[in-house]
Structure 1
Amino acid sequence: MSEKNREGKRSARERLAAEREKQKAAEKRRRALIVGATVVCVLGLAAVIGIVAANSGKDSGDSAGKVVAPSGAAGQDALAIPVGKDSAKSTLVIWEDFRCPACKAFETAYRSTIHELTGAGLLKAEYHLATIIDGNMRGSGSRTAANAAACAQDAGKFTPYHDVLYENQPEETDDAFADTKTLLDLAKKVDGLDTPAFRACVEDGKHDSWVAKSAQAFTKSGFGGTPTVLLNGKNLQDVPSMTPAKLKQMVQETAKG
């Protein structure tokens, strides 16, 4: 083997090692953000391949079809579901996957604080839906649940249904959310959501193309995994000793100016 080839292989190994260290550092920061979480939903090479495979298979028709955003969707390409008042001085951008255990851990720890702050008009939350577990573990539950959540947004019931989905999240390896009957049964836990319009929206996959577009946006974002949470553009993974109390303090300080 020539010296040039040996140097090329050495360089490739060094780049791979550096990338692995970068991912490890990102995972460590995310674990610090998620109080009590012991798992991180990572978007690695295997996940990217899984997503591409899924989108090139039976979902390709959905992706190629007309993108129907849910009612009130905002932001670039209308990919965010907003919760809270536009006048709020702080914005919390949350990338989540309904099958992701770490997202459930984040919701369990931070949900009441986020609800309190959005209810008080101090915080606007923007939810972006990802489907990385469908790529990692195979299946379609992330996508199907995201579509159902978008249908709930059409009905003005996104927040309570979003919370019900996380409260009833199946094991990561169990693709239970792929079954629309499961999603429709959970809708009965939200007052006024179980309607013919909602059921048709879920069963027809009305927002599947929108979900696929959101998933593609996440893949292109460069974020390492879910949940990814940004407060006024700052990744909370980079905030030392992040807690719900600290989030509340940061939002209140911004509101005071």
Structure 2
Amino acid sequence: MGTTRTNGSLYTSITDRIATVEFGHPASNSFVAELLARLATELRDLSENEEVSVIVLKSEGDRAFCAGASFDELVAVSNLEEGKAFFSGFANVINAMRTCKKLIVGRVQGKAVGGGVGLIAACDYAFAVESAAIRLSELTIGIGPFVIAPAVERKIGIAGLAELSLAPTEWKNAYWGKERGLFAKVLENGREMDQELQVFTSNLASYNPQALTDMKTILWEGTSHWDSLLAERAELSGKLVLSDFTKKALEKFKK
């Protein structure tokens, strides 16, 4: 049973050095600004928690993994400041995942759109089920996946980013994602995925914590400029969302 809270839910449990962070929202596990801020804070806290070696990022239920940012909040943006703040939500989470000292393993049990694909790309390792299709739909509403693009490109390359973002109405299946490096493993169903995930994270959590932290640093080499880069991208998106073209596209979409 998923959460019914309009500002979403976020729960963390820690067992055997593995922290499981679960987010949820009644609108296909999409993110309102408050939930993104809570997730970024939680990841920063876990980064400093010496009882934790590995983080598992998952979402509620057995349907969508994440439908991206809240459509209602996007439609409500009325000035540049609000626009930049709205798009900074995912920027802050991706940067928190990047700078987190702990390895982050994604558990993707269903479809992901937009910012949801960015979250998967910012994981250090990701498991998915066969039904975990992905799509970057931003161009259809007059914006682009600018904030998450660096994370997605880092994982699947510029060609993969182009293939996803320039065909915004097309779903790519989980095996497409695996071939390009977004997913490390694709399993038939949630039960199989959870069994594999359990073995994988238990093994990982048994290794030298300092070696894991050092490995994390190496995996993210060359991204130290992302704090400013993603802030610039949030501003770019904030400007676009105020354009007449985008306002009309959003109106049409709403109907």
Superposition TM-score, scaled by structure 1 size: 0.27
Structure number having the greater strand percentage: 2
Structure number having the greater helix percentage: 1
Larger Rg: 1
Superposition TM-score, scaled by structure 2 size: 0.27
Kindly indicate whether structure 1 or structure 2 has the higher relative contact order, using CA contacts under 8 Å at least 6 residues apart.
1
